[in-house]
Structure 1
Amino acid sequence: MPVFTAKAGHEATLQEALLGLQSASRKDAGCLEYTVFSDDQRADTYVLIEGWASHQDLKAHNEEDHVKDFVDGVQSLLAVPFSVSPITPLV
């Protein structure tokens, strides 16, 4: 579950980049869920919920050019480096 916080004035640009990443990533093998959410209480914050059929699918996704390009391209838009918290549903 990655969390992204935009620098002031860069919210729209970050949102556009995240939506592009969402669109491309949904086509990756093993993608079950890939949805970007805006934080209703913090307009500069976006949360990504993603689900993969296997850990191998996630690893392959992270090696895709569209992911690498996104990570490199958004650094200047972020107020702080994005964080990733692995989450597992309680069954």
Structure 2
Amino acid sequence: MIQINGTIKLGRTIDAATQKAMVEMVRASRAEDGCLDYTFARDMADPDTLVLFERWRDRAALEAHGRSAHMAEFQKVMAANPPASREIRIYETDDGQPLG
């Protein structure tokens, strides 16, 4: 399994159009073959920081996601609203086990 975790420090507060694009990106990504989880969330202590969490069946599914039409559209939105910084890492991992 492939897991992607990261933070994106926004260059400015999310406007309605950007938020709409993010919701569309999440929904379209979750519908992709091989997507196990795809989430954007705001950092509770810093609302201008997004937390990204993705899980993919394998690298092929992640690569297909990178070539998707909704990714191309989302990249246009993000290019118009460039982040101040980002820290995103990819991991190859197992399915994990329930905690507790």
| TM-score normalised by structure 1 residue count | 0.80
More strand per residue: 2
Identify the range of structure 1 (12-21 vs 37-46) with the bigger mean alpha-carbon deviation. 12-21
**Residue of 8, 12, 15 corresponding to 1:12:** 15
| 2: CA distance, partners of 1:83 / 1:71 | 17
SS at match of 1:73: helix
**Residue of 50, 53, 57 corresponding to 1:53:** 57
| 1: CA distance, partners of 2:85 / 2:21 | 15
| 1: CA distance, partners of 2:86 / 2:75 | 9
| 2: CA distance, partners of 1:50 / 1:74 | 18
| TM-score normalised by structure 2 residue count | 0.74
Aligned-residue Cα RMSD (Å) equals: 2.1
More helix per residue: 1
Find out whether 1:71 has 2:89 as its counterpart.
no
Aligned identity (percent) is 24
Compute the displacement of 1:5 (Å): 2.5
Matched residue count:
90
Is there any run of 5+ residues in structure 2 with no aligned partner, and where?
Answer: none
